[in-house]
Amino acid sequence: MSSHTRPPQPGIRLHVDLDGDVRPHRSAKIEARLRVDVAADGAPTDLPAVELAVIIAVDVAEAHRAAVRHALPAALRALPDRISFAVLGSGPEPVRCYPLGDDEWAVADQYQRRRAAFAAGSLPLHRDRPRPAGYAHWVAGARALLAGRPLSVRHLVLITDGSSAAFQEPGLEAELDACAGLFTCDVFAVGADWAPDPLLVLAERLHGTAQFVDDGLGRAVTDAIARLRRVHSPQLPIEVTLRPSVRQVSLSEKAPRPHRLGGLPEPGRPNRWSFPTYQWEQGSRDYLLTLVADADADPLETELQFAMVSVGDVHEPVVARWHLADRSVPPAVAGAGSVQSLNATGQMRGALREGLAALRDHRRDTAEHCLGRAARLAARFGTGWVLDEIRTVADIEDAAEGRIRLRAVDAGTLAPMILRAGSGPGAAPAGTVGIRPGPRCGNCDTPAGSEARYCITCGEELL
């Protein structure tokens, strides 16, 4: 994304909760839950449309023109004034449908919207031969086009019937790497012949969503653009500075949607990593930070700072101690249950997705095992939407025990369910378990560490 962002920046609150049962060895894993709360704090309600550039790319075969015939003109007529936009069709390579002529971008007003909606009626779509170009070509085309529009938020809306995924794309991963940080992407699947896996890869790597739209495609595209305008910070990296004994670090978003984050080492500072994140609205996000450390040179039973997490101007340490192997496990510290809950949420989503994929591939034993595991975790954490998804394909005999009985299922219903399991929002993980040890500030009630002398929020001396 471009560095052009609007002042004032949103208010940020960062909480770090750690699983305290850490045993020393050469490759010990330390896991922490990060919760980042973003408040508008005086920032405008909507991002001005002039700061947005959106590509609407239509990757469907001529046989599926009916799926976009009315939806695309409706979405174009609903574009906000002054947004930069372009429309791409396929034939089979991505080809510009609008704006017409030599211009790469149009700026929405009444005249441009009316012309774009009319031009969409002759949108070029690919036929059976030659084969479509593939998703790597769509992403590369978007990258080249958006490079010339350095605005705060740059976004690709890809409407696909899956025909670009009819063959293997060895270049897709490399192209997604090249697009990291340049734009985000929402994927809308139409029809019934698309595979969910490549769509989930696109959404996860480009920090968007993938969803099946059976009806109301125009409204779905309009809502996606409206959501972009609620972005308070287009790019907000999470930076992690490591203790020298930490050899590996990874960060993944768990809620509201799962995303894999790629870490970028800071030049000249081998112990500092930056994890770019995008499209920050008001609300909360949960992340799982995983560190792999070598305990050989560290003291035991001593509080150690393994990392410092920074989001904007807000910083929080990741502190733990190596416990002696021959001693009993100490009482769980605040946040241990929180980390377990975050892991369980990821395992539940993974089991649901794996079970549905196995059912699609007619591996019923695997499907029953995975969906039973998902049901057991959902019952434990009260995640109703997962149980509702399982009930679509199976009878739940005992959710707490993970006993289900598969039913005969129309294969066409499974792909949208796999998308929801892999990209759709779910309930946030359970709140932090317990409270932080130590005193609370008598002035603002902020919790403090056991050795703290002054409040980190208001600066008052702790009594």
The whole-number average pLDDT for the span 82-98 is 91
Local confidence band at 345 (pLDDT 50, 70, 90 cut-offs): confident
User: Cα–Cα distance between 63 and 45 in angstroms, integer?
Assistant: 41
Using alpha carbons, select from 259, 229, 305, 206 the residue that is nearest to residue 47.
Answer: 229
- Lowest model confidence (mean pLDDT) among 6-10, 157-161, 186-190, 404-408: 6-10
Q: Are strands 210-212 and 184-189 parallel, antiparallel or unpaired?
A: parallel
Task: Return the percentage of the chain with pLDDT > 90, whole number.
Answer: 43
User: Cα–Cα distance between 426 and 180 in angstroms, integer?
Assistant: 25
Task: Give the model confidence (pLDDT) of 245-293 as tens digits.
Answer: 898 999 999 888 888 788 888 888 888 999 988 888 888 899 999 999 8
For the chain, the residue count is: 463
Local confidence band at 447 (pLDDT 50, 70, 90 cut-offs): low
* Highest-confidence segment of 173-182, 334-343, 386-395, 434-443: 386-395
User: Cα–Cα distance between 374 and 350 in angstroms, integer?
Assistant: 8
Q: Is the model's pTM score more than 0.75?
A: yes
User: Cα–Cα distance between 287 and 263 in angstroms, integer?
Assistant: 14
Q: How much is the pLDDT for 273?
A: 92
At 362 the three-state DSSP class reads coil
The whole-number average pLDDT for the span 90-113 is 92
Mean pLDDT of the chain: 83
The whole-number average pLDDT for the span 344-365 is 91
Local confidence band at 450 (pLDDT 50, 70, 90 cut-offs): very low
User: Cα–Cα distance between 264 and 303 in angstroms, integer?
Assistant: 28
| Angle 409-411-417 from CA coordinates, rounded to 5° | 90
Q: How much is the pLDDT for 92?
A: 79
Using alpha carbons, select from 396, 417, 284, 414 the residue that is nearest to residue 349.
Answer: 417
Q: How much is the pLDDT for 181?
A: 82
The whole-number average pLDDT for the span 23-41 is 82
User: Cα–Cα distance between 96 and 124 in angstroms, integer?
Assistant: 9
Q: How much is the pLDDT for 35?
A: 92
206: Cα within 13 Å, side-chain hemisphere: 34
The whole-number average pLDDT for the span 63-75 is 92
Does pLDDT of 78 surpass 90? yes
DSSP 8-state code for residue 343: H
The whole-number average pLDDT for the span 223-252 is 89
Dihedral, CA of residue 131, residue 136, residue 139 and residue 143, to nearest 10: -120
Does pLDDT of 451 surpass 50? no
Tokens describing residue 46: 């909507």
The whole-number average pLDDT for the span 372-386 is 91
- Beta carbons within 8 Å of 110's beta carbon, 6+ residues apart: none
At 430 the three-state DSSP class reads coil
288: Cα within 13 Å, side-chain hemisphere: 26
Q: How much is the pLDDT for 213?
A: 92
DSSP 8-state code for residue 278: E
* DSSP bridge partners of 255: 286
Does pLDDT of 186 surpass 80? yes
Torsion sign over Cα 167, 261, 36, 221: negative
Dihedral pair phi/psi, residue 243, rounded to 5°: -65, 145
Peptide bond into 330 cis (omega under 30): no
Q: How much is the pLDDT for 45?
A: 64
Task: Return the percentage of the chain with pLDDT > 70, whole number.
Answer: 83
Task: Give the model confidence (pLDDT) of 286-343 as tens digits.
Answer: 999 999 988 777 787 788 899 999 998 899 999 888 877 655 544 444 444 578 777 8
User: Cα–Cα distance between 91 and 88 in angstroms, integer?
Assistant: 10
Dihedral pair phi/psi, residue 143, rounded to 5°: -60, -45
The whole-number average pLDDT for the span 231-256 is 87
For 46, 54, 118, 150, 309, the CA distances from 102, given in Å and listed in that order, are 31, 18, 18, 19, 47
User: Cα–Cα distance between 104 and 87 in angstroms, integer?
Assistant: 10
User: Cα–Cα distance between 156 and 225 in angstroms, integer?
Assistant: 10
Does pLDDT of 9 surpass 50? yes
Task: Give the model confidence (pLDDT) of 193-223 as tens digits.
Answer: 888 989 999 998 898 999 999 889 999 999 9
Does pLDDT of 372 surpass 90? yes
